[in-house]
Amino acid sequence: MSGTRTVVLAGASGFIGRYFRVRFEKDGWTVRTIGRRGAKGSPSATWDDDDARLAQVLDGAELLVNLAGRSVSCRYSARNKAAIRESRVSTTAALGRAVALCREPPSTWLNASTGTIYRHAMDGPQTERDGELGTGFSVDVARAWEAELAAAVTPGTRKVPLRISIVLGPGGGALRPFAILARMGLGGWMGPGTQKFSWIHVEDLYRCVRFLHARKDITGPVNVASPDVVDNRELMRMVRRAYGARFGIATPAWLLRLGAVLIRTETELVLKSRWVQPEKLLDAGFVYSQPELGRALQQIARGRA
């Protein structure tokens, strides 16, 4: 490819997408976006556009990163379940059709997936090689998401599903509710407190995307997580320390379930044990800028991360 390097960010209006746009532009890339009609930032195309218009945006770009997907922080009603699945599967399908129409398609397509695809794991880490997929709604969505990516007929484009763990970073991400609880004195462990917490700093997620684009030899699903996995007790202790909370009342599972109903979310977000091991990244020599959770939380709390 000649000239300025171009990336297409699909689903660029969320916390991760906004961060990626700033970072790619800072690194000298031209950024095109595909998003919802009416979303901030005037996307280059919207999901309401036809395949030909999406192909125009993709043509000549060297990298496609798809982050599209409705937030899972809601009650899993039939309506919300359908919207969560549709927002992931249909957008991936649309991109597949559009890439197939490109005269000069992206060489790499990195498509968001989730580390939640693995089972509730308390007994050992789940790697790309020997991890066991779980059951339930979230896993079914992740399977359908990855299946849609695999089904796209794009012989000139390498497709990699990113099994992303919980993303932390300044100004958003999954940390905010934990920080609020800590400030309210409710920052103790949740449920049994032994469930594992896999995470990735948003900067390392960005760096991982750049790394995987450059490493053409890496194929198949990639676990995107820090190797520094902690349990929920340790997580909340670090959150309290980062936000200056002297104590934190523990929350039993039954109270979490009641509270989840009141704030219209699901307890799976904190009770499922996610133990995601980034074997492919580690074997390939990826170096983390934020490898330690305690230090990352301190920097985020101080607004320096």
pLDDT value of position 1: 42
Q: What is the reported pTM? A: 0.94
pLDDT value of position 38: 67
pLDDT value of position 2: 47
pLDDT value of position 3: 62
pLDDT value of position 191: 93
Question: Which residues neighbour 162 within 8 Å (Cβ) at sequence distance 6 or greater?
Answer: 110, 111, 112, 113, 208, 209, 212, 221, 222, 224
Neighbouring C-alpha atoms within 13 Å toward the C-beta of 283: 11
Full 3-state SS string of the chain: CCCCCEEEEECCCCHHHHHHHHHHHHCCCEEEEEECCCCCCCCCEECCCCHHHHHHHHCCCCEEEECCCCCCCCCCCHHHHHHHHHHHHHHHHHHHHHHHHCCCCCCEEEEEEEHHHECCCCCCCECCCCCCECCCHHHHHHHHHHHHHHHCCCCCCEEEEEEECEEEECCEECHHHHHHHHHCCCCCCECCCCCEECEEEHHHHHHHHHHHHHCCCCCCCEEECCCCCEEHHHHHHHHHHHCCCCCCCCECHHHHHHHHHHCCCCCHHHHCCCCECCHHHHHCCCCCCCCCHHHHHHHHHCCCC
Cβ-based neighbour number of residue 305 at 10 Å? 19
pLDDT value of position 263: 59
pLDDT value of position 50: 97
- pLDDT below 70 — which residues of the chain? 1-3, 38-41, 262-263, 304-305
